[in-house]
A and B are shown apart, each in its own frame.
Chain A
């Protein structure tokens, strides 16, 4: 069964460093998302991406964050200068088109645990 994959599973970085989190969405999906979950808290939306551009972003997704689809398979989240409060689990998700062109459900990857020291 197709699934969303993410690398690395765990990333440890120093405050102020740049990190890139990688995701491979399900191959025929068209919509891509990043969410984060601070330990013990709810899942929060960061950004959605369609047709090579951001379609929606939250207040969390400030200028320190960027997303890119560098090739036909990968979808990346970059944090330019990490802060302690960026420590969280980051989930990538993807979805395709449902019947009659409607949006379909999102499938989540296993997550990348980011620890900022």
Chain B
């Protein structure tokens, strides 16, 4: 059974600081996704990582995938308050038939 673990589960950080969220998974996969969820809202797609070594950046967020280590990271650079949300990674091991989500990382960025 695939297990997807994120850490930390909760992250409180000051504006302007950098931090990394980690997503480990237990079974071989070369497809990993990062989503953002605001309270009471749906899941917004942030990044799609489809191969080992994939790195994608959008604004202050950068995601990477190491399929050999079964690890993805979401790096936050110079955080701003607008980044406050819950971030989920999700792994696809079944050719698109289902996503297995991590537990989420709730990020709070304080002024």
Contacts and interface: CB of A to CB of B under 8 A. Distances in A.
Interface of A: 31, 33, 35, 41-45, 48, 50, 55-56, 58, 91, 95, 102-111
A70 B42 CA distance: 25
Contact of A43 (B41, B95, B101): B101
Contacts of B88: 42-43
Given A105-B33, A105-B48, A45 B42 contact: no
A110 B97 contact: no
30 contacts: A31-B96, A31-B97, A33-B99, A41-B103, A42-B88, A42-B102, A42-B103, A43-B43, A43-B88, A43-B90, A43-B101, A44-B101, A45-B99, A45-B100, A48-B97, A48-B98, A56-B94, A91-B43, A102-B96, A103-B96, A105-B45, A106-B33, A106-B45, A108-B35, A108-B42, A108-B43, A108-B44, A108-B45, A110-B41, A110-B42
